[in-house]
Amino acid sequence: MTLTLHGVDHTARPTWKLAETIHFYRDILGLPLVHAVTAKGWGREDEQHADFIHFFFDSGNESSIAFFCYIGTRQPENLKPPRGYMAMGNHTAWRVESESDLLAWQEKLEAQGVKVSQFITHEIIESIYFRDPNGYPLEITRPLRDMGALDATDAAHTIEAALALEATGKWTSIEQLWRKKAERIQQHQAA
């Protein structure tokens, strides 16, 4: 039996800025608030659990972005989103269907005082980037083309080359990866 996933239902993260979060997602982004759970916190043997609200905004295509508000708690230092590009690697990217939609989102966000990155064209998508009031990185993107079988083949070659280099403990650069991958592609073409 092949198990299949059917897209994103929701992603969730904690917030200690309830009012700002509601304002940003509901009023600035305009995502409908569609569900809210409220619950008495429960205790486990090794952990007390705060009372909480778990609320959801509709982000389209039957997906949502959700938050937990743990009542009466303070944000632990290790849950503060770090600054810098490495922390941007942890982000949510929403899809829009056209360049004009993407530009319209950029204008809408900037008009509301949200700092938005430059429009960036990547291999198969183009995107804008920004952060929510909690500091969580967000992206809005549009596909430039569909992914094909060749993309998957190429991805497999990239990852196999990377795994081989990682296993040496000496891997330090993308140039090393590109050279290792070339060895694989040469064999791939000869096969």
Partner 1 sequence: MAGFYVLDVPEFRPLLEAARRHPACQVHPLAAGYTFVEFATAIEITRAATGLPPALWFGCLTAGLDGKITEFTEETLRLAPTNEPILP
Q: Report which residue type is found at 61.
A: N
Shortest Å, Cβ 159 to partner 1: 12
**33 or 147, CB closer to partner 1?**
147
What x-and-dash track marks residues 165-184 binding partner 1 by CB under 8 A?
A: x--x-xx---xx-xxxxxxx
Shortest Å, Cβ 93 to partner 1: 15
Shortest Å, Cβ 59 to partner 1: 25
Site for partner 1 contains 124 (CB under 8 A): yes
**104 or 182, CB closer to partner 1?**
182
Any residues with CB less than 8 A from the CB of 71 and at least 6 apart, and which?
50, 51, 52, 53
CA distance 73 to 96: 36
Helix/strand/coil for 116: coil
Any residues with CB less than 8 A from the CB of 3 and at least 6 apart, and which?
none
Q: Which span (4-12, 22-30, 105-113, 116-124) binds partner 1, by CB under 8 A?
A: 116-124
Q: Could you tell me where the DSSP H helices lie in the chain?
A: 18-22, 85-88, 99-111, 149-168, 174-190
Q: Given the rule CB under 8 A, which residues bind partner 1?
A: 120-124, 144-145, 148, 150-151, 153-154, 157-158, 165, 168, 170-171, 175-176, 178-186, 188-189, 191
